[in-house]
């Protein structure tokens, strides 16, 4: 028979973990706050728990707990639909089959900005064309 102290030493396991028993606590919902959250959520359907807490002047954690326990999900704003090109291969199998473009802006000095646009062949990785344009940017005051 091996003692718990020896067994924990051999396994490199802290002995206090054997005696720890998590306490389950009852989640309490403040009914007045839950009613105010529900009314505000019906008025502003896209607001999350942080904005609801700001509007109600309350801490955000009780607001989040109320939303979780009541199952009130916040409706997300529609982001729009961007269809993906269908039936196109992700990898090109021959030259001139698929091209990629990129545009980047570089600040050159205090008021100058340069733009570089590049077109590259995805199969051969050869740059097919590019355009470099410098622009004067007037600062807003």
What pLDDT, in 10s, does the model give residues 83-96? Answer: 665 666 567 888 88
- Rounded CA-CA distance 37/49 in Å is 9
Cβ neighbors of 110 (< 8 A, separation 6 or more) are 139
Distance, CA of 52 to CA of 42 (rounded, Å): 11
DSSP 8-state class, residue 105: E
What would the two tokens of residue 101 be? Answer: 């473009």
Question: For the segment 6-38, what is each residue's pLDDT rounded down to a tens digit?
Answer: 888 888 888 888 788 888 888 888 899 999 999
Q: How far apart are CA 30 and CA 62, in angstroms?
A: 9
- Average pLDDT score over the chain: 83
* First-last CA distance in the chain: 82
Alpha-carbon span 76 to 129, nearest angstrom:
41
> SS3 for 42-100, per residue?
HHCCCCCHHHHHHHHCCCHHHHHHHHHHHCCCCCCCCCCCCCCCCCCCCCCCCCCCCEE
Average pLDDT over residues 56-63: 92
What is the arithmetic mean of pLDDT over 117-139? 85
């Amino acid at each position: 028979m091996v003692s718990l102290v020896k067994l924990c030493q051999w396994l490199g396991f802290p002995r206090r973990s054997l005696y720890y028993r998590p306490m389950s606590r009852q989640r309490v919902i403040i009914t007045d706050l839950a009613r105010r959250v529900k009314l505000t959520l019906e008025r502003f359907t896209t607001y999350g728990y942080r904005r609801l807490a700001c509007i109600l002047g309350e801490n955000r954690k009780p607001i989040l707990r109320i939303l979780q326990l009541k199952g009130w999900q916040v409706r997300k704003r529609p982001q729009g639909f961007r269809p993906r090109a269908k039936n196109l291969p992700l990898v090109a199998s021959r030259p001139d089959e698929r091209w990629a473009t990129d545009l980047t802006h570089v600040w050159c000095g205090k008021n100058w900005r340069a733009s570089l646009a590049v077109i590259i062949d995805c199969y051969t990785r050869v740059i097919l064309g590019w355009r470099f344009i410098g622009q004067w940017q007037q600062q807003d005051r």
